[in-house]
Amino acid sequence: MFYFLSKSVLQYGRHTAAVSPTHKHFSFQLSPSIITLRFFISTLENPNKHSFAASYLINKFGFSPESALSASKHLNFTTTEKPDSVIHIFKHYGFSQVQTLKLVKKYPRVLSCNPEKTLLPKLEFFHSKGMSNNDIARILCTYPHILERSLENCITLNFNFLGNLLQSNDKTIAAAKRYSPILYHKPDRFLKPCIDILEEYGVPQKHIASLAHRWPRSVMMSPNYLRRIVEKVRKMGLDPLKPQFTTAVMVMSLLRESGWERRLGVYKSWGWSEEDVHAAFIKEPWCMMTSDDKIMAVMDFLVNNMDCEPSFIVKNPYLLKPGLKTTFIPRASVVHFLLSKQLIETKPNLVTLFLCSEKMFLEKFVYRFEEAPQLLKLYGDQSNLSK
C-alpha cells in the first residue's frame, strides 16, 4: 500500500521519507509523529471519510496534519460546497480572513454547520439586536462555541435576560464583548443564581447591573464561590448598598488569595499594616488590582518626590489610580515651576492636584498665570514624553 505514495505526499510537514522501489517499503530519515503517520494511513484507508476534510483544513487554513486529522473526525463534508458557503457567510458579515481563520482554528466544526438553517439565523439575530459586524466577529472569534447553542432556547434567552437586567441592548452587547461565554451558558446556570445572591445581600439592582455590564465574568462564576466572596467582603466592613461593594466582589473574584497576599506584601514594604490595607480597600477596592510595578512606582514618586507620607495614601487610596507618566509627572512639573518662581506660596493638596479633571487643573494651575504659555509648553512636553 505504501509503495504507491508519491514522494511529495510522504514529505508532508517537516518529515522526509525515502522510498525503495525494490523492496516496496519506505523508511523515514526523520521519524514523524504517530499522529502524522496515522493521517497518511487514514487518507489511504478511508479516502471519503476524513481525508477530504483534513486536506481542506490544511490547504485552506494552514492546519498542521496532526490538528487537521484530529479536527476532521468531527467534520462531515466531502465536497467544498458546505465549508465554502460557511466562509462566504462570514465574509458577507464583514469577517476578515484573519478573523475567519481564528474562528475556524478554535472551532473547526463550524465548517459542518448548515449555513442557511444553523449559522445565518444566529448572525441575523445578533445583527437585529444592534451588533455591528465587528461586534459579531469579536464575540464569535473569542468564543465561537456560541454557534453550537440553540438560537431559541439559549442565545435569545441569554441576550434577553441580560438585556432586561441592563435595560439596554448596547450595554448587553458591551458585556458580551467583554465576556463572550455569557451568551453560551443558560441564565439559570450562573447568571441568575449569582444575581439572586447579590440581591439576597441587599445589593441594589443598579449596582448589580453595573457589575454585569462592566465585569460580566463576576456574575458568571460558581454561585457557591460567589457566595463565599460576598460573605467575605461583607465581613470586611463594606456596605452592600454602596458601589464599592460590587467593585470589591469583582476584585476578590479576579485576584484570588495568592494575588491578595502578594499585593499585601507590596504595600507592607511601604510601611502599611494589614489594617491599613483593609482600610484602603474599603475606600477604594481597585487599589488591590493595581499592578505591583505601578504601586511601587507611584508610592516612590509620592513619598520621595512629593514628600507625601504613606499614611496619607492609606487615607486617600484613590491616588493610586492616575498614571505616573500621564498625570503625576506632568502636573508635578507645573507645580514645581510655580513654587520655584514663587507664583504660589504652598504646595497644593495632592488629592486636588492629581485627581481633579484636566479642565480644572489647567484653569487652576496654568491659565490664570501670565506664564501660561511657558506652563503649557512644560505641561505638554512632559505629557508627550509619556507617549
Task: Choose among 172, 143, 178: nearest CA to 250.
Answer: 178
- Quote the pTM value: 0.78
Q: Does any domain span residue 347?
A: yes
Residue 20 in this model has a pLDDT that exceeds 50: no
| Average pLDDT score over the chain | 87
Q: What pLDDT, in 10s, does the model give residues 205-239?
A: 999 999 999 999 999 999 999 999 999 999 999 99
For 344, the domain range is 328-385
* Mean pLDDT value of segment 362-385: 87
Q: Cell numbers at residue 358, please?
A: 484636566
Residue 296 in this model has a pLDDT that exceeds 90: yes
Cα separation, 284 vs 211, in Å, equals 16
The number of folded domains in the chain is: 1
Residue 43 in this model has a pLDDT that exceeds 70: no
Long-range contacts from 48-54, C-beta under 8 angstroms, 24+ separation: 48/78, 50/75, 52/77, 52/78, 52/79, 53/77, 53/78, 53/111
Residue 280 in this model has a pLDDT that exceeds 50: yes
Residue 261 in this model has a pLDDT that exceeds 90: yes
Q: Does any domain span residue 356?
A: yes
Q: Does any domain span residue 155?
A: no
Task: Choose among 67, 88, 189, 86: nearest CA to 144.
Answer: 86
Answer whether 212's CB lies under 8 Å from 241's CB: no
Q: Cell numbers at residue 96, please?
A: 476578515
pLDDT at 214: 96
Contacts of 111 (CB under 8 A, 6+ apart): 53, 56, 75, 77, 82, 83, 86, 87, 104
* Mean pLDDT value of segment 185-210: 96
* Mean pLDDT value of segment 260-279: 96
Residue 26 in this model has a pLDDT that exceeds 60: no
Q: Does any domain span residue 377?
A: yes
Cα separation, 219 vs 225, in Å, equals 11
Q: Does any domain span residue 148?
A: no
DSSP 3-state percent helix, strand, coil across the chain (nearest 5): 70, 0, 30
Q: What pLDDT, in 10s, does the model give residues 307-340?
A: 999 999 999 999 999 999 999 999 999 999 999 9
Q: How confident is the model at residue 50 (pLDDT cuts 50, 70, 90)?
A: low
- According to DSSP, the residues that pair with 19 across neighbouring strands are 26
Cα separation, 374 vs 366, in Å, equals 9
Residue 61 in this model has a pLDDT that exceeds 70: yes
Q: Cell numbers at residue 160, please?
A: 434577553
Cα separation, 176 vs 174, in Å, equals 5
Q: What pLDDT, in 10s, does the model give residues 169-179?
A: 999 999 999 99
Q: Does any domain span residue 31?
A: no
pLDDT at 72: 86
Q: How confident is the model at residue 19 (pLDDT cuts 50, 70, 90)?
A: very low
Residue with cell 487615607: 315
pLDDT at 297: 96
Residue 274 in this model has a pLDDT that exceeds 60: yes
